[in-house]
Structure 1
Amino acid sequence: MARIGELDLPDRLHPAIPRWATQLGVALLCVGAAGVLRLAINLVAPGAAVFALLFPAIMIATLFARWQAGLLTAAISIAYAFFAVYLPSPATTQSGPYWTLFAIAFSAGLTIALAETFRRAVHRATDERDLQIADRDLMLSEFEHRVKNNFQIVASMLDIQRRRVSDPAASDALGAAMMRVDSIARAHRHLYRDGQGSEVNVSDYLKDLCDTLSDALLLRGGVTLDCDADAAHIQRDHAVSIGLVLNELVTNAAKHAFVGRETGTIHVSWKHKAEGGWRLTVADDGVGLPPGPRPKRKDGGLGQRLIEAFVKQAGGTLTTVSDSGGTRVMMDVPD
């Protein structure tokens, strides 16, 4: 019912059609519809319930085109029903018709008042809702702007520190931290840009992230990074986790997959599985993982621990396949 009250035809059609013309048209349409139903009823029960159809017609006209249309509908309908149907009936008495007319007119006025009150209440509630939505959008816009600035400040501080340190291991660690912050920042931007509430368009997010990683890892010429992602909207927290996993896997591939080589390809895909769920795949055509236990890395395996933590946070599972033709890491997550 609230949606009916929100539809104000005189305002909706103005200025193409004057408001009074819209109200007149709605009144005539309601009178005509009631008249057609009246004729159909007369075929079955002549003279029965003469005034019964007046009230729904009056209410509809008032809700859609304000009280003026309801009043016009009432006047035309009552006049027609009274003079064309009621008075000619032999069952009426000399004094009864006028009291009936008064009762019907009073009931019609009460119907118009109630319908108009309801219509105005709904419009006030709608205006308040729109104002609240506008205030919320303004607040979210300001919040998004502040968070974006905070991300930029953190990234800038990490970049300044990275440039100042002389230890290559420390510089690499700060650079990796910068890319992780950037991955979270991009998920945040896509969350507000897509307008999906708490969901992120993963396709756009992953493609954007791959472009950034390609620039940040200086993948030029011989080593390329491409991304093929199906469209999907998932929860923000899961999108952040998936983006961070992608960040770590692509970084690992760029650093370790092409040792002693100048060419190679890193392929990222995000596809829906036939049996349900989604699969993130990061595959390279590099040298593959060495057989046996993996040697301890300089960062103490921080990257691998982060990958495992992010996969767990997304509710997914991780599978790694490696041979002389390269390495393929697959992350499966539920719908």
Structure 2
Amino acid sequence: MRPAGSQDVRQPVLRDPEAATEQPMAGRRVKIDLVDRLAPRIPEPTAQALVAGVCAILAVLARGAVDTVFPGAGPFALTLPFVLFATLFGRWGAGVGVMCFTALYAWYFVLPIRQSFAFNDPTDGPRVFVNVFSGFLVVALAEYFRRVVRRALMERNAIAEERRLLLLELDHRVKNNFAMVNAMLRIEMRKASEAAIPALKAIHSRVDSIARAHEALYREEGRIGEVPMRPYLTTLCASLQSAYLQGQHRLTADIADVSLPRDNAVEIGLLVNELCINAAKHAFPDRSDGKIHVSLAATEETLTVSVADDGIGIPDQPAREGSQGHGLIHALAQKAGGALERVPVETGTKFELVISRA
């Protein structure tokens, strides 16, 4: 019996190469030949005939260009490249069509006697046979190679699809676990004493920050293992606004459109969480309005995270930074790969963390 609420994960079925023209992989559709690209607008036989016609015309033009410089040289030399191209990109039907047309063209217009199927030399007959046989052999080998490549692509796509489904299942289960932890914390907050509520609320906020990083981790396909920071921190700031800031207090965010590895994103998210909570608690003791601003700026060399407020500032730094979360804040900054510094500003307080991207 499967757990309630879990998603059904099915093994992807690998279909026959000619029965399926495409499969999703990482948000894209993979099409490996021109017949696929023309379907379903053009039926498969028509598409193969179209590819064969284009390749045959190109072969005739190439033959004419060569004949202007070296008349009659290598009558069948330019046949094989176009046969190969037609087979690889238009399947075996297109290759056979190009082979037949170009062989007849070279026989009739290039070989002596021109504009005739008669042979001028006794060796012309065997030469035509050998060249035509070689052309059909190229068609067979190219079609075999095309099918092998197509099968390999479909197997890779099937594995990618299975991985995507498993990640969705994992995402669903982990989100349920985070929701359960948050629900338990809310229950405990309703039963706890006034002295214990701030600590439980802080824990709830930290769990919520990690949960939002996890949610952002799977938000964009093709970016497995990385968290897009703009939606993550913007959503986190909105949650902090509703939980800690009342009245005219505002929390704004200006976040660069970058993605970071999961662990770095979680550390930055927790750091922003702690700094915003600290500012909400201490920056506006006697004011009904105030502003906290979170920013993440990115260059090729560095990431700069800053949290600033327009509150009372820190007249007595040890008293303000001696809070219970001070050690956690600096530990998170070090783990993220930088050192947290207080930047002098005219009004309020600003903390800044610079992380090297090298």
TM-score (norm 2): 0.85
Q: Give the drift of 1:295.
A: 6.6
Give yes or no for the alignment of 1:126 onto 2:153.
Answer: yes
**Residue-pair matches, total:** 323
Aligned pair 1:203/2:230, yes or no? yes
Could you say what secondary structure the match of 2:240 adopts?
Answer: helix
Alignment-derived partner of residue 15 in structure 2:
none
Unaligned stretches of 5+ in structure 2?
1-29
Quote the residue 2:206 is aligned against. 180
| RMSD of equivalent CA atoms | 2.0
Residue in 1 that maps onto 2:257: 231
C-alpha contact (below 8 Å) 1:289/1:323 kept by paired residues: no
2:337 to 289, 297, 315: 315
Whether 1:194 aligns to 2:216 is no
List per-residue Cα deviations over 1:56-88 (Å, max 9, x = no partner): 111111111111110010000001111221132
Partner Cα distance (1:144, 1:11) in 2: 34
Of residues 326, 330, 344, the one that matches 1:304 is 326
The farther-off stretch of 171-180 and 245-254 is: 171-180
| Rounded Cα–Cα distance in structure 2 between residues aligned with 1:123 and 1:320 | 58
Structure 2 match to 1:29: 54
Change (3 A) 1:122 1:6: farther
Tell me: CA distance 1:8–1:189, structure 2 relative to 1, closer, same or farther (3 Å): same
**1:254 lines up with 2:276 in the alignment:** no
1:22 deviation in Å?
A: 1.6
- Give me the TM-score of the superposition, normalised by structure 1: 0.90
Off by >4 Å, runs of 4+ in structure 1:
none
Cα deviations across residues 8-38 of structure 1 (Å, max 9, x unaligned)?
2223323322222221121121111111111
- For the Cα contact (< 8 Å) 1:27–1:69, is it kept in 2? yes
**Among 45, 52, 65, the residue aligned to 1:20:** 45
Deviations 1:199-239 (A, max 9, x none): 2211111111000001111x122321111222111222111
Contact 2:311–2:349 (Cα < 8 Å) also in 1: yes
**Aligned pair partner of 1:152 in 179, 183, 193:** 179
- Residue aligned with 2:218, SS: helix
Per-residue CA distance 1:74-113 (angstroms, 9 max, x = gap):
0000011112211327xx7542111112111210111000
Q: 2:227–2:259: 8 Å Cα contact kept in structure 1?
A: yes
Taking the aligned partners of 1:67 and 1:12, their CA distance within structure 2 comes to 16
Give % identity: 43
State whether residues 217 and 224 of structure 2, in contact with CA within 8 Å, keep that contact through their aligned partners in structure 1.
yes
Contact 1:241 1:310 in 2 (8 A): yes
- 296 and 53 in structure 1: CA distance in 2 versus 1, 3 angstrom threshold: closer
Residues 6 and 123 of structure 1 are in contact (CA less than 8 Å); yes or no, is this contact kept in structure 2?
Answer: no
Distance in 1, matches of 2:199 and 2:342, equals 24
Q: Name the structure where helix makes up a greater proportion of residues.
A: 1
